[in-house]
Amino acid sequence: MSDSQLKIYEDEYQLDIEVSWFSAGAIFLALFCFAWMSFLFFWYTNVGGAPWIFYVFPLIHVAVGVGLSYTTLCMFFNKSTVAVNNDYVSVKHGPIPWWRGNVHLASEEIEQVYVKEKKSRNDNSTSYTYAVMAKLYDGSSKGLLDITMTDSQKALELEKRIEQFLGIEDAPVAGEFGKSNATYTNPTNEQRERKRRLYSKNYEYINKKIGSQLTFDDNSYEVVHENQYDWKNGNSDKQLQLLDYLDNQILLYIKQNRGIYNHFVEEKMSLGLAQTLNFSKDNPQSKLLYSGEEYILEDYVEGKSFLGKETNALDTQQWRYTTANKKKYIRVINNNNLLTYYAGSLPQENRTRADDFFDLNQPIREKEIRKNWADEDFV
């Protein structure tokens, strides 16, 4: 595996690893698939009027050709993205969907990270590949990067980086590559004390759930609703509906850029205001004019959204327009052809981090917080 196939990004909040699937074998497979599918095309264009068996017999070859072609496309375009932080370890493969390998584990479940060697034999040769695995406290193992890696040193480097980030002291695991006669076991399944990274408040804020209480701008609020957006680029954004004891309401939008989270206060635009934008999802404009200001298209993302406590995901698109100084934005969400518009801004013009304006240590007011929004108002 070359350095161009492996990219590692790390800051105090998160470790991100990107592994490209491309290898020289992808070129060989592409040529093979072209020859295979060309033969099938030639076959079916020249069997007109032949008995039915001439149409049915090659179907298994068609299935093989389609499967190989799909795999080849994945080898050319796919990447595996591993996100590691204090709360979870997730692995996603894309942009082309893959039938297995996506993983989401709580970091506290992971006891060890190790490399496992896989041997494949044919008539003429033996080949070796390497997978990065996670051993859990319940005794099971999960593949983190269970794709074809032919460079053992790169796999060992990834193991080391993940363990160091999570504060896991390396110990041998039965069957681990590079450690002969590894027989480490933890029969009591006791979790060893682990050095945990101290995160700033703005990172912790992304993990707030319905029912959580917090202090914003010297007022105490309860989280009464949340929407989560899991984008195909690996980022996850969240929208929180906050309500205080006087029924004052705030929509807070938390935007992720790898290990960095920015917070914005936003409000849902009325249908009348939204129509003045003349936005078209089929032909989105590069600029929008709103309240006398120009908003420029900054990014477009696709993914899944989870509304409230719903477990069924919705296919979602988002267009985000910002002013030149990045202090204001318009966010357009498309959930199953239902467009929703939000206008947002930084809570204070001279503050760009949530640490500056959130104080989670303020006492919570004792008066019961009431929820008076209907779920259909919050999409």
Digit-coded pLDDT (tens) for 268-323: 999 999 999 999 999 999 999 999 999 999 999 999 998 887 778 899 999 999 99
Same domain, yes or no, for 109 and 182?
Answer: yes
Domain assignment present for 35: no
Same domain, yes or no, for 350 and 287?
Answer: yes
Same domain, yes or no, for 230 and 315?
Answer: yes
Higher-confidence residue: 185 or 77? 77
Q: What is residue 92's predicted lDDT score, i.e. its pLDDT? A: 87
Average pLDDT over residues 75-87: 87
Total domain count for the chain? 2
> At 119, is the secondary structure helix, strand, or coil?
strand
Q: Work out the pLDDT band at 218, boundaries 50, 70, 90.
A: confident
Same domain, yes or no, for 247 and 351?
Answer: yes
Q: What is residue 370's predicted lDDT score, i.e. its pLDDT? A: 37
- Encode pLDDT of 338-373 as tens digits: 999 999 998 753 333 333 333 333 333 333 333 344
Domain limit, last residue, from 198, 222, 243: 198
Same domain, yes or no, for 146 and 212?
Answer: no
Domain assignment present for 119: yes
Strand order in the sheet with 110-121: 110-121, 126-136, 141-145
Domain assignment present for 71: no
Same domain, yes or no, for 210 and 325?
Answer: yes
Is pLDDT at 257 greater than 70 in this prediction? yes
User: CA-to-CA distance for 5 and 20, rounded, in angstroms?
Assistant: 5
User: CA-to-CA distance for 68 and 299, rounded, in angstroms?
Assistant: 34
- Encode pLDDT of 109-146 as tens digits: 899 999 998 887 777 777 788 889 999 988 888 888 86
Percent of the chain with pLDDT over 90: 28
Domain assignment present for 308: yes
Q: Work out the pLDDT band at 4, boundaries 50, 70, 90.
A: low
Q: Work out the pLDDT band at 210, boundaries 50, 70, 90.
A: confident
Domain assignment present for 347: yes
Burial of 193: CB neighbours in 10 Å, binned 0-12, 13-18, 19+:
exposed
Domain assignment present for 83: no
Q: What is residue 296's predicted lDDT score, i.e. its pLDDT? A: 95
Same domain, yes or no, for 189 and 317?
Answer: no
Same domain, yes or no, for 341 and 235?
Answer: yes
Is pLDDT at 172 greater than 90 in this prediction? no
Tell me the HSE value of 301 on the side-chain side, using a 13 A CA sphere. Answer: 21
Nearest to 68 by CA among 29, 94, 102: 29
**Domain extent at residue 174:** 88-198
- Cβ pair 349, 356 in contact under 8 A: no
What residue type is 46 in one-letter code?
A: N
Same domain, yes or no, for 122 and 152?
Answer: yes
Domain assignment present for 12: no
Average pLDDT over residues 233-253: 90
Higher-confidence residue: 88 or 302? 302
Domain limit, last residue, from 198, 217, 232: 198
Domain assignment present for 157: yes
Is pLDDT at 79 greater than 70 in this prediction? yes
Same domain, yes or no, for 189 and 122?
Answer: yes
Which range, 76-90, 126-140, 160-174, 292-306, has the best average confidence (pLDDT)?
Answer: 292-306
Same domain, yes or no, for 179 and 215?
Answer: no
Higher-confidence residue: 187 or 370? 187
Is pLDDT at 11 greater than 80 in this prediction? no
Nearest to 291 by CA among 278, 306, 273, 275: 273
Same domain, yes or no, for 184 and 232?
Answer: no
Domain limit, last residue, from 198, 227, 242: 198
